[in-house]
Amino acid sequence: MAVLSSHGSPANERLANRMAAARGWDRTQQGCLDKLWTEESAGTWSPTVTDPLSGAYGIPQALPAGKMAAAGSDWQTNAATQIRWGFDYIAGRYGTPCAAWAFETSHYPNWY
């Protein structure tokens, strides 16, 4: 069973959990991913959410937003494209969602 929060778009959360499992990230990692992206997307899990202060965009809250274009031309609206980009970002910078979550919560203001 996938790890879901009670916030935002359950469909996008389920999609992220399925994609995380396919990547080899277990339920613990999926739980960290849920916390990370629920926090980052203000609980919406929406591919069109924008942080009004920073301009960070989408489910993974990319800044600048346009860098998600590396994952696909539909990056502005497609949750799967944003999730794929976000996974690559997390893996490249932190290794795992739990490591990214630990970084997120280790300083203020929170960001990863």
Which residue bears the tokens 């399925």? 18
Domain boundaries, the chain: 10-105
What pTM was computed for the model? 0.90
Is the confidence at residue 8, as pLDDT, over 80? no
Of the pLDDT bands very low, low, confident and very high (cuts 50, 70, 90), residue 5 is: very low
The tens digit of pLDDT for each residue in 32-59 reads 999 999 999 999 999 999 999 999 999 9
The tens digit of pLDDT for each residue in 72-82 reads 999 999 999 99
Residue type, 16: A
